[in-house]
Structure 1
């Protein structure tokens, strides 16, 4: 059993923002797999079978800073160990178009990851970091992450969401090393 949690903020005003790239990736994958989300565990969940594994998709609805609560609730209920959890989130330290799969690590200043570490009690869970790049000079980082992708960024975003789906498929199959070697560039 696997859990993939995409981080973001609930509400239409945040739907297409950089900070919601975790939601965007799960929405893209769910659309391709013809899955629907339903409310549960302080989030929206969907489930599917992939490669012989039951996989839960979760979009916490607690706002980014508290997203670990939703992840903890579903992980405890289904007894999903931390090594079978993948959290998908935005990362300003990676340029737009870059992704990184990592097995563990610190929060790196990301409040959703801080919340997840605090709630599940370990840094030992998988992360799929999706680059959104740094804000232009003079921009407030909060305004940047809560801003929408511009027209010129959309083709790159679509391409990275496609690669993200491939990474998630490999991760579900237990092919994390292959995913990292292929897509961490």
Structure 2
């Protein structure tokens, strides 16, 4: 059975639970809820495993905090013997309009500390990533406050329809492949 590792980036603890920076965790929670599986605390993170259309999908929410996400990703990648092309990193992006999905096969960290750490630990930027737009509705110099801030009421109500779409994109990555998933979900 082909295995996939989906890594949602975020920060642990109730302080960060509903922040924009934790969209990776939120999207993985949506996948798990839709597939009736639950997370358990394991080494370096919370894991949930599901079988979907003949694929084994491992959802990982690192407990290492955002800036050290690469340690958990690399550990579980090696532990489960998952090739880099079967890894998908889910993260927030201030350079994309709120709710918009952008999936790519590779790319720069774009100033995102979680992605920087992953690239450093893997020694490559050639891994698939799923960026969920959180927008850039913040004054100059206030980016950290914005991404670590909680969703507005309007954003929260829009997430109700955006989260299922994001969850479907993750399942598509495992079953339909990266190219088809990019064609079907990018820009939506």
The TM-score by the shorter chain falls in which range?
A: over 0.9
* Number of matched pairs: 185
2:25 and 2:133 map into 1 onto residues whose CA distance is: 14
Aligned match of 1:60: 62
Give the equivalent residue in structure 2 for 1:132. 134
RMSD: 1.2
Deviation of 1:139 (Å): 5.8
The alignment's TM-score, normalised by the length of structure 2, stands at: 0.94
Q: Say which of 13, 29, 32 aligns to 2:15.
A: 13
Structure 1: which 5+ residue stretches go unaligned? none
CA distance in 2, matches of 1:79, 1:120: 14
1:5-154 paired onto structure 2 within 5 Å: 5-138=7-140, 140-154=142-156
Q: Establish whether residue 161 from structure 1 lines up as the match of residue 160 from structure 2.
A: no
Looking at structure 2, the residues matched to 152 and 38 of structure 1 have their Cα atoms a distance apart, in angstroms, of 31
Runs of 4+ in 1 over 2 A off after TM superposition: 135-139, 174-178
Structure 2: how far apart are the matches of 1:8 and 1:84?
Answer: 20
| Distance in 2 separating the partners of 1:33 and 1:163 | 14
Q: Please, what TM-score do these two structures have when normalized by structure 1?
A: 0.96
Alpha-carbon offset, residue 182 of structure 1: 2.0
- Taking the aligned partners of 2:79 and 2:44, their CA distance within structure 1 comes to 13
Q: Which runs of 5+ in 2 are unaligned?
A: none
Moved more, 56-65 or 149-158: 149-158
